Amino acid sequence: MFVKNVALKNYLSYPELYTEFTEGINVLTGQNAVGKTNLAESIYYASVGKSARGLRDKELIHWGGDGNAEIHLTVQKKYAKHTIDIAIDKQGKKRIMIDRIPIVKMGELMGAVYVVYFSPGEMRLIKESPVDRRRFIDISLCQQDKIYFYTLVKYNQLLSQRNKLLKDYYNSPTLKSMSDIIVEKMCREQEYIIKKRKDFLSRLAPVADERHLILSGGKERLELTYESEEIDEKNIPESLKELYDKSFEKDKHLTYTTVGVHRDDLKIVAGGIDIRKYGSQGQQRTAALSLKLAETELFYRASGEYPVLILDDVMGELDETRQKALFAHLDGIQSIVTCTSFEKEVASSATIYEINDRKITRL
Ligand SMILES: Nc1ncnc2c1ncn2[C@@H]1O[C@H](COP(=O)(O)OP(=O)(O)OP(=O)(O)O)[C@@H](O)[C@H]1O
Ligand SMILES: [Mg+2]
């Protein structure tokens, strides 16, 4: 799929902007703070309904601007063209329409435009807490599989119910039986989540390894494994139930739930070492990029279409050999790349745009 055009109104640094994009490599250049990331992020927003940098909705409204912030996208898929229209009001309330029809639940937005987003902040994926690694897996799966999205929402609701119970009914003799009711439901939901996550990783790992090998100039192999509690794969709900029973006293004491998919992690080994902890900056950066490129490829294999790849500010971090290796593997993928300046010989087919004074010009 590819984004044909983007129109912004009253959004971040743009009072008004319209631009078209090509199906191939689109490079947004310009000095610092001209709004390259802001524009790239509007596409991400239209894919998941959230800012990639974690800005709150009302923070997306142009300072001093009057009225709603608006993002409008036209997306070309294999068999159909779609429009996405987003309006955010001063209270931070958003209205989203797909093909002019308002959506009722955020889940309906998933898959309307599929984006893989990479920015230096994405290094979190490797070196920060498991939360970021789980989010990576979850966001990929949610966009591909609505059942996964709703299952995860349900699980998280049950998890907060149980945590609340552990806090509010700490001394109650009925705590265990009340918790058991919730645990039973949690176990059932988790079976789907665990299976899907493992299945996703088994497909992701070999592709990420291959990309990593290319990007590291044939020097390093990448291994990905799902880290979770030891459970019986053939009977996940029962097996999880036993773990909850075992950890009940501990959970009661801590007043939160220590067992479940909200604690699982992704182990990332490159060149034989766990790079979550011991990796060099370059290893971590290359691995993060390999993961994102693998995600792109997997989406293609599952749907027959490539997602839009957004590479925000990664060029400066890669040497020229790696930049060339990267662009040589973007065939058939629409990519939106931001950087302060771009050497045409890195990718001769790229279309270059310059952003300046809130305007965009195709060079
Ligand atoms: N709500 C807002 N209204 C108007 N301007 C905003 C708003 N929020 C952020 N900005 C402006 O957007 C600018 C940042 O834009 P952006 O992050 O897109 O820059 P960039 O071109 O990606 O820069 P860099 O090269 O440093 O990454 C900030 O300097 C700020 O002035
Ligand atoms: Mg930027």
The ranges assigned to domains in the chain are 1-114+309-363, 120-304
Mutate to test the pocket of ligand 1, among 6, 19, 37 (most ligand atoms within 8 A of CB): 37
1-114+309-363 and 120-304, same CATH topology: no
Instruction: Tell me: pLDDT of 316 over 80.
Output: no
**Distance separating alpha carbons of residues 236 and 264, to the nearest angstrom:** 15
Q: What is the DSSP letter of 111?
A: T
Average pLDDT on 316-331 reads 84
Instruction: Tell me: pLDDT of 127 over 90.
Output: no
**Distance separating alpha carbons of residues 68 and 15, to the nearest angstrom:** 11
Confidence band, pLDDT 50/70/90 cuts, at residue 321: confident
Instruction: Tell me: pLDDT of 71 over 80.
Output: yes
pTM: 0.84
From the list 362, 337, 340, the residue with the least C-alpha distance to 352 is 362
Residue-wise pLDDT tens digits, 251-306? 999 999 999 999 999 999 999 999 999 988 888 888 999 999 999 999 899 889 99
Q: Which residues contact 173 (CB under 8 A, 6 or more apart)?
A: none
Q: Whose CA is nearest to atom 17 of ligand 1?
A: 37
Instruction: Tell me: pLDDT of 345 over 80.
Output: yes
Radius of gyration for the chain, computed over Cα atoms and rounded to the nearest angstrom = 22
The tally of CA atoms less than 13 A away on the side-chain side of residue 161 is: 15
Average confidence score pLDDT of the chain: 93
Q: Whose CA is nearest to atom 5 of ligand 1?
A: 13
Residue with the larger pLDDT of the pair 64 and 221: 221
Cβ atoms of 287 and 127 within 8 Å: the answer is: no
From the CA of 17, the nearest ligand is 1
Residue-wise pLDDT tens digits, 192-229? 999 999 999 999 999 999 999 998 888 899 999 999 98
For domain 120-304, the question of CATH label 3.90.330.10 is answered with: no
pLDDT of res. 319: 79
Q: Locate 75 and state its tokens.
A: 């997306």
Question: What's the gap in Å between 34 CA and the centre of ligand 1?
Answer: 6
Question: What's the gap in Å between 119 CA and the centre of ligand 2?
Answer: 9
Give the Å distances, CA to CA, from 150 to 137, 198, 215, 279, 347.
Answer: 15, 18, 36, 35, 41
Mutate to test the pocket of ligand 1, among 6, 10, 12 (most ligand atoms within 8 A of CB): 12
Which class is domain 1-114+309-363? alpha beta
Instruction: Tell me: pLDDT of 42 over 90.
Output: yes
Q: What percent of the chain has pLDDT over 90?
A: 75
Q: What percent of the chain has pLDDT over 70?
A: 100
* DSSP β-bridge partners for residue 337: 27, 311
Confidence band, pLDDT 50/70/90 cuts, at residue 110: confident
Angle at 61 between CA 58 and CA 63, to 5 degrees: 120
DSSP secondary structure string for all residues of 123-160: GHHHHS-HHHHHHHHHHHHHHH-HHHHHHHHHHHHHHH
Residue-wise pLDDT tens digits, 131-175? 999 999 998 898 778 899 999 999 999 999 999 999 999 889 999
Question: What is the per-residue burial (b if ≥16 Cβ within 10 Å, else e) of 350-361?
Answer: bbbbbbeeeebe
Indicate which atom in ligand 1 lies nearest the CA of residue 35: 18
Confidence band, pLDDT 50/70/90 cuts, at residue 88: very high
Average pLDDT on 41-47 reads 96
Classified as helix, coil or strand, 30 is coil
